[in-house]
Amino acid sequence: MAAQTIADFTAKTPKGEEIDLASKLGKVLLVVNTASKCGFTPQYDGLEALWKQYGDQGFEVLAFPCNQFGHQEPGSAEEIDQFCKVNFGLSFPLMGKIEVNGPGATPLYQWLKDEAPGLFGSKGIKWNFTKFLINREGKVVRRYAPTDKPESIAKDIEALL
């Protein structure tokens, strides 16, 4: 059976522990593929600001480090986690490192791309910091380009909270 909501998937922590994403139902989620050595890396500040502003209202950021674009995330999961805490003061949890395109793409990202194709119907993730907004029912509401700053998504998050 085809996946219907984010609850049909699991994700891994940087330590490799599996999380059942059904535990995220009832929350508004922003799922984003990230990288530490990318021109968009400063968006971590915006993601952290959204998390701090809306976290107590049922909003979460699910950040998935990815090394598929210009080798901009070469470190281990632990190194990435430390980098983000030290350089951006991240308090939201990072997920384990994944692939978002190609045969190694995680099932979660295959589903996200099917649910919200990019410009002109393209399925592939074009670059780091592509974002997907998920409603409380676990459905994809919208896809945002890497150039869309996190703060520009605030009004869409508020509408779902």
Catalytic residues: 38
CA distance 12 to 16: 5
Burial annotation 72-85 (CB, 10 A radius, 16+ → b, else e): bbebebeebbebbe
Decide if 32 contacts 60 (C-beta within 8 A).
no
Burial pattern 104-120, b for ≥16 Cβ within 10 A else e, equals: ebbebbebbbebbeeee
Handedness of CA 75, 76, 79, 84 (dihedral sign): positive
Cα 147 versus chain centre, distance: 14
CA pair distance 131, 46, nearest whole angstrom: 12
C-alpha 88/C-alpha 72 separation (Å) is: 17
